[in-house]
């Protein structure tokens, strides 16, 4: 299929990169996405189609709106009173911003992992079980035990915590806490996992483990990751989207394509400047 | 200044001086000096606070014990007829003394009210003491005066009260705690007031805690930022500073007058007709609930605001609804703060006097409150009333009552600290 990227014409850039691959199916798609914080336009006219069961990295300099775009995918921006979203985000062909769509349902299908590990101040077991319970889990205790075990196995955390499931989630190390957060997200069985700089608070070893985990998870889940670390984007992602700022400080999507292509052969001068470290 | 610089230069090369000799002045000495001056100021302030507190406590303790000149209608020594002192005699020995000295009518009344078989030795002794000996406290002295001016006191007693005895009295004692109010300071106790205060506090907690917490949840988690909600918020903040007497007026108008059928209990048919004018424990409790409600709400809001936003985000990010987020994460984590704030507000209500005066606390009740529709008094009201009396001895029992009030407040505040430590978590 053809994947066309249309950049905003008002910034006088236009790059259309074509990805030829018949196996690709978009999991979620933003069309003319504008996000305002009060009167400030934070993200302008972003069109992007995220591919199913692939890892897409959003990179760019600070303040370019990549986190805002990420949060637009599961309506987390709704929690900010002054935030306002225009345009469409299509998920299973449905605009998640249209009338009658319940943001709670959206967030159940599109989970999120945050920058700072934020396990609930509950036991490790309850960190996993809580999400299932609130989303209507009806099984017996033994089935819940299975679910917790399977989820922790899936998040590559089971071996480290199987003997202390009743300990507080906060007793784990930073990297383990972050994997616990990923685990509790996949316990709800979402389609898409959004990750907002999941490794920025972690040491390199923990980062590596999370990256391995992301590769494993991409067999079953679509993952979108915001990262400041370009090596991480290059290592872990299948596709990369580069965002930058325009003169009025609005974030725009500059270039989007296959990660290898974008890093080895960027089409835009500004992309090349950024990934070679000349700015940002 | 000069030697300071030299001393500094002993160890370090003067880099700043070389780089910009005119822009930097060597002020290390004056910086340290200023710091020391402020430290002394802070220490003096702390000491002043400690002195004030110590004076208060000393003054109160000073009044709770000391010598008292007591005159008897019939001195206990003559009653005991030289055998032994009255308080060591058994009931069987005491009863004839009682029978011999009161009228036949009075004896029948006593026997009807308190059958002899049910009386302990202490009860018998009290009967003889108050029915026959009838002590009257003529003049009292504080503890310090008793210790240092004993001879002077002795001389005064010999001169002014030749009939009287000089006794050392501890005014804060067991019988003071368990006795009802009386117009004789030697017999008066604080029981009715303590019970009244406890009844009121239970009502205050039952009303202000759920309403206050619910309101703070609404204001923090649900209310959107608009003009209307900002006005409400500002008003709550201002209400927290309104003088308590104003709440007393409100309570008088609303609970005592307007809602009289409810607050006096006549609507439910359980009110006592003698108190059916709305001046009941229920009215007082509701008035004090209103008084502390703004404080409970503000404290609740603070506690809820202190729950890290990352927890809410994590919860929403997993598809939790607002209610699930509030119930499972916000409330459990805000609970220690909410409890602490509420208990501190409740202890404020515990010590309130002015609104209760307006709502109509009775200053003289000798019977304990039975239910929330009873007439009442409270510990601070009792203290207020006793300190207004001219007799010496009432000042002493007022001091004793203050100690009781302080201990009760201390217990409440200690509970707050314990709850906070018990439930506080880190994240």
Q: What is the SS3 assignment for chain B? A: CHHHHHHHHHHCCCHHHHHCCCCCCCCHHHHHHHHHHHHHHHHHHHHHHHHHHHHHHHHHHHHHEEEEEEEECCCHHHHHCCCCCHHHCCHHHHHHHHHHHCCHHHHHHHHHHCCHHHCCHHHHHHHHHHHHHCEEEEEECCHHHHHHCHHHHHHHHHHHCCCCEEEEEECCCHHHHHCCCCCCCCCCCCHHHHHHHHHHHHHHHHHHHHHHHHHHHHHHHHCCCCHHHHHHHHHHHHHCCCCHHHHHHHHHHHHHHHCHHHHCCHHHCCCCHHHCCCCCHHHHHHHHHHHHHHHHHHHHHHHHHCCCHHHHHHHHHCCCCHHHHHHHHHHHHHHHHHHHHHHHHHHHHHCCCHHHHHHCCCCCCCCCCCCCCCCCCCHHHHHHHHHCCCCHHHHHHHHHHHHHHHHHHHHHHHHHHHHHHHHCCCC
- Asked if B328 and A188 come within 8 Å (Cβ–Cβ), the reply is no
Query: Residues A225-249: what's their mean pLDDT?
Result: 91
Do A107 and B318 count as a contact with CB atoms less than 8 A apart? yes
List the single residue in A with minimal CA-CA distance to B226: A81
Confidence (pLDDT) at A9: 38
Give me chain A's average pLDDT, please. Answer: 87
**Which residues of chain A have a CB within 8 Å of the CB of B310?**
114, 116, 118
What the block records as the tokens of B352 is 């309130």
pTM of the model: 0.82
Q: Is the pLDDT of residue A75 over 80?
A: yes
Segment A81-98 shows an average pLDDT of: 91
Q: What is the pLDDT of residue B274?
A: 66
Structural tokens at position A149: 């075990």
A79/B308 touch (CB, cutoff 8 Å), yes or no: no
Q: Which residues of A touch B329 (CB under 8 A)?
A: 120
Tell me if chain B has a CB within 8 Å of the CB of A182.
no
- Helices B191-217 and B379-387, packing angle to 10 deg: 130
pLDDT confidence bin for A185, thresholds 50/70/90:
very high
Please check whether residue A137 touches B, CB under 8 A: no
Residue B212 confidence (pLDDT)? 95
The reply to whether A81 touches chain B by the CB within 8 Å rule is yes
pLDDT tens column, A53-67? 999 999 999 888 899
Q: Residues B33, B39, B40, CA angle at the centre, nearest 5°?
A: 95
* Per-residue pLDDT, A125: 94
Question: Each residue of B5-28: pLDDT tens digit?
Answer: 555 455 666 565 565 667 777 888
Contact pairs from chain A to chain B, CB under 8 Å: 72
The domains of chain B, with CATH numbers, are 68-169 (no CATH), 191-423 (1.10.3720.10)
Residues of B in contact with A184 (CB under 8 A): 318
Q: Is the pLDDT of residue A194 over 90?
A: yes
Residue position matching structure tokens 């000393």: B58
Q: So what CATH class is A9-111+192-275?
A: alpha beta
Q: How far is A107 from chain B (nearest CA, A)?
A: 5
- With an 8 Å Cβ cutoff, is A44 touching chain B? no
Q: Do B311 and A120 touch (CB under 8 A)?
A: yes
- Spatial distance between the Cα atoms of A120 and A104, rounded to a whole number of angstroms: 19
Q: Quick one: pLDDT at residue A34?
A: 93
Could you report the predicted ipTM of this complex, rounded to two decimals?
0.86
For chain A, the structural domain boundaries read 9-111+192-275
Measured in angstroms, the CA of B319 and the nearest CA of chain A are apart by 4
Task: Identify the segments of chain B with pLDDT beneath 70.
Answer: 1-21, 80-84, 271-276, 363, 424-427
Q: Cβ of A181 and B225 within 8 Å?
A: no
A264 touches chain B (CB under 8 A): no
Minimal Cα distance from B310: which residue of A?
A118
Residues in B whose CB is inside 8 Å of some CB of A read 224-225, 308, 310-321, 324, 328-329, 332-333, 425-427
Is any Cβ of chain B less than 8 angstroms from the Cβ of A76?
Answer: yes
By Cβ distance, the residue of A81, A104, A184 closest to B224 is A81
pLDDT at residue A165, rounded to an integer? 92
Using a CB-CB cut-off of 8 Å, the residues of chain A touching B425 are 121
- The pLDDT score that the predictor gives to residue B142 is 87
> Distance of alpha carbon B418 from its chain centroid, rounded?
19
Q: Which residue of A76, A135, A170 is in closest CB contact with B317?
A: A76
Nearest-by-Cβ selection for B316 from A107, A116, A120: A107
pLDDT at B82: 61
CA distance A175 to A205: 8
For testing the chain B interface, which of A104, A105, A122 should be mutated: the one with the most B CBs within 10 Å?
A: A104
* B50 CB neighbour count, 10 Å cutoff: 10
Contact A107 B333 (CB under 8 A): no
- Which residues of chain A have a CB within 8 Å of the CB of B321? 104, 134
């Amino acid at each position: 299929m053809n994947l066309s990227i249309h950049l905003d014409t008002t910034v006088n850039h236009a790059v259309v990169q074509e990805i030829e691959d018949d196996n690709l199916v978009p999991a979620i798609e933003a069309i003319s996405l504008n996000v305002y914080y009060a009167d400030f336009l934070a993200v302008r006219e972003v069109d992007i189609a995220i591919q199913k069961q692939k890892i897409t990295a959003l990179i760019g300099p600070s303040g370019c709106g990549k986190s805002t775009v990420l949060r637009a995918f599961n309506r987390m921006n709704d929690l900010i009173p002054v935030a306002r979203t225009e345009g469409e985000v299509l998920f299973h062909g449905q605009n998640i911003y249209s009338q009658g769509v319940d943001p709670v349902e959206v967030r159940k299908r599109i989970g999120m992992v945050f920058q700072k590990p934020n396990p609930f101040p509950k036991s490790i077991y309850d960190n996993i079980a809580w999400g299932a319970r609130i989303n209507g889990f009806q099984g017996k205790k033994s089935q819940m035990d299975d679910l917790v075990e399977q989820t922790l196995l899936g998040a590559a955390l089971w071996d480290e915590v199987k003997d202390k499931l009743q300990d507080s989630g906060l007793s784990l190390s930073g990297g383990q806490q972050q994997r616990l957060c990923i685990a509790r997200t996949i316990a709800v069985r979402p389609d898409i996992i959004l990750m907002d700089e999941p490794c920025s608070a972690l040491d390199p070893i923990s980062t590596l483990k999370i990256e391995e985990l992301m590769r494993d998870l991409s067999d079953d889940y679509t993952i979108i990751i915001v990262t400041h670390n370009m090596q991480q984007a290059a290592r872990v992602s299948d596709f990369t989207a580069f965002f930058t700022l325009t003169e009025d400080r609005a974030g725009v999507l500059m270039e989007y394509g296959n990660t290898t292509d974008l890093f080895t052969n960027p089409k835009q001068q500004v992309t090349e400047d950024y990934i070679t470290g000349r700015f940002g | 200044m000069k030697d300071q610089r030299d001393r500094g230069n002993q160890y370090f090369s003067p880099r700043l001086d070389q780089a910009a000799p005119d822009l930097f002045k060597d002020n290390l000495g004056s910086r340290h000096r200023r710091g020391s001056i402020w430290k002394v100021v802070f220490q003096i302030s702390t000491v002043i606070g400690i002195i004030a507190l110590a004076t208060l406590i000393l003054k109160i303790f000073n009044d709770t014990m000391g010598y008292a000149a007591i005159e008897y209608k019939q001195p206990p020594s003559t009653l005991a007829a030289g055998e032994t002192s009255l308080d060591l005699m058994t009931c069987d020995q005491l009863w004839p003394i009682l029978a011999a000295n009161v009228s036949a009518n009075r004896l029948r009344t006593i026997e009807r009210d308190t059958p002899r078989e049910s009386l302990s030795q202490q009860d018998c002794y009290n009967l003889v003491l108050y029915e026959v000996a009838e002590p009257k406290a003529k003049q009292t002295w504080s503890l310090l005066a008793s210790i240092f001016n004993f001879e002077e006191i002795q001389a005064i007693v010999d001169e002014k009260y030749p009939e009287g005895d000089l006794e050392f009295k501890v005014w804060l004692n067991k019988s003071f705690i368990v006795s009802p109010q009386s117009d004789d300071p030697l017999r008066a106790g604080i029981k009715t007031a303590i019970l009244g205060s406890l009844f009121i506090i239970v009502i205050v907690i039952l009303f202000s805690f759920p309403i206050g917490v619910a309101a703070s949840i609404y204001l923090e988690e649900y209310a959107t930022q608009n003009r209307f909600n900002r006005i409400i918020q500002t008003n709550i903040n201002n209400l927290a500073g309104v003088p308590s007497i104003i709440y007393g007026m409100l309570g008088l108008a609303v609970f005592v007058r307007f809602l009289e059928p409810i607050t006096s209990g006549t609507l439910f048919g359980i009110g006592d007709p003698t108190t059916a004018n709305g001046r009941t424990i229920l009215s007082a409790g509701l008035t004090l609930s209103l008084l502390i409600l703004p404080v409970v709400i503000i404290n609740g809001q603070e506690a809820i605001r202190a729950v890290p936003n990352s927890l809410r985000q994590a919860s929403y990010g997993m598809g939790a609804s607002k209610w699930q987020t509030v119930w499972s994460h916000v409330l459990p984590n805000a609970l220690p703060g909410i409890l602490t704030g509420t208990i501190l507000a409740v202890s404020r209500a515990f010590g309130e006097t002015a609104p209760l005066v307006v709502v109509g606390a009775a200053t003289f009740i000798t019977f304990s409150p039975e239910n929330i529709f009873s007439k009442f008094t409270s510990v601070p009201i009792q203290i207020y009333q006793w300190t207004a009396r001219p007799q010496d001895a009432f000042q002493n029992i007022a001091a004793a009552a203050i100690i009781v009030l302080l201990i009760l407040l201390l217990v409440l505040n200690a509970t707050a600290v314990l709850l906070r430590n018990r439930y506080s978590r880190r994240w």
